[in-house]
Amino acid sequence: MRIAADEALAGVLLAPLRPEVGYLGGRPVSLWPYGAPVDPERPEDAPWEAAGRLLAALHQVPVHRLPGPVPPMRGPAKLARALRRLARATAPGRAAGGGDAGPAGANGPVVVPAAGGAAGSAGPAGSRTGAALVPGPAEGRPAGDLVRAAARTLPAWVRGEAPAPRGGALCHGDLHLGQLVRGPGPDGGWRLIDVDDLGIGTPAWDLARPAAWYAAGLLDTGTWARFLDSYRAAGGPAAGPAGSDPWPELDLAARALTVQTAALALAKSVENHRRLDDVERLMVDSCARIATLPPDLEPQAPS
């Protein structure tokens, strides 16, 4: 709360009405001004450029000037939590048929059905050179196995199983369009909200969700370019200079976010006895391709 209220982040984060945390019934309570959210009915108006500029500004804040201690960014911890939830949901005996619980109450494992043309439209993350995602059919394989296999290609620190490399930048930790609101005041500019996962870490993690969506074919090339170009133009350190291939810096975080998203989607589908929807299936398909990569054995230092 003190960090969110600090002057160094004015114009980047929506500042709380006061930095102190109160308590109500033993639970912490904070007070914030109202900000108008992104309109879900008008995706064409989504503020991708603003998101890029805000992240670039956040990543350039001098951490040593912030009121401390500044915690670590919680990205790896959230991935570890998603994998644990998947393990609980798909544990033997969890469903009537054992293994991964079947969709819509059916027995047997959740398997990846034939994906048709959609999954084949995946973009360029997932290979460490930025080339097209490694092809390979996922049909007929238990989805939980695919997600876990993809997780095993990630370094231990990315899975929250080892200390993260030292250093880094101030990161939001959970960037998506729902984390932007128009702030109060005369400018009414966009601000980032939800500081629960704020901390020091690898800035590429904040670009991971749009990168993963682009890689899976969920974000079109023009929108991805608008976001990436605005981030680079504002001096963002996590994607290399303009005109360069961003994937050497973004690939690891994009794969981690893909695994996290797929693990949560699959766990929820099992818990609620429903089928994976088209978007969730695309993320599992991406995990199938990630799983064909050799493991990352060396930690990647934060940019």
pLDDT band at 257 (very low <50, low <70, confident <90, very high): very high
**129 vs 196 pLDDT, higher one:** 196
pLDDT of the residue at 165 = 87
Segments making up each domain of the chain, as ranges: 2-290
Paired tokens of 23: 């308590």
* pLDDT tens digits, one per residue of 22-55: 999 999 999 999 999 999 888 888 999 999 999 9
Per-residue pLDDT for 166 more than 70? Answer: yes
For range 149-164, the mean pLDDT? 94
pLDDT for 258: 97
* 133 pLDDT above the threshold of 80: no
Per-residue pLDDT at 116 exceeds 50: no
Among 207, 209, 244, CA closest to 130: 244
State the pLDDT confidence band at 186, using cuts at 50, 70 and 90.
Answer: low
Instruction: Tell me the torsion sign for CA atoms 181, 14, 238, 299.
Output: negative
Q: Which residue has the tokens 């609101």?
A: 181
pLDDT tens, position by position, 210-252 = 999 999 999 999 999 999 999 999 999 999 999 999 999 999 9
Which residues have CB under 8 Å from 82's CB, separation 6+? 259, 260, 263, 264, 267
Query: Do the Cβ atoms of 165 and 155 come closer than 8 Å?
Result: no
* Residue of 291 and 299 predicted with greater confidence: 291
CATH value of 2-290 in 1.10.8.620, 3.90.1200.10, 3.90.1150.110, 1.10.3720.10: 3.90.1200.10
Among 54-58, 118-122, 251-255, which stretch is predicted with the lowest mean pLDDT?
118-122
Which are the contacts of 10, defined by CB distance < 8 A and separation ≥ 6?
A: none
Per the confidence metrics, is the pTM higher than 0.85? no
Q: Is the pLDDT of residue 164 over 50?
A: yes
What tokens does 233 get?
């133009």
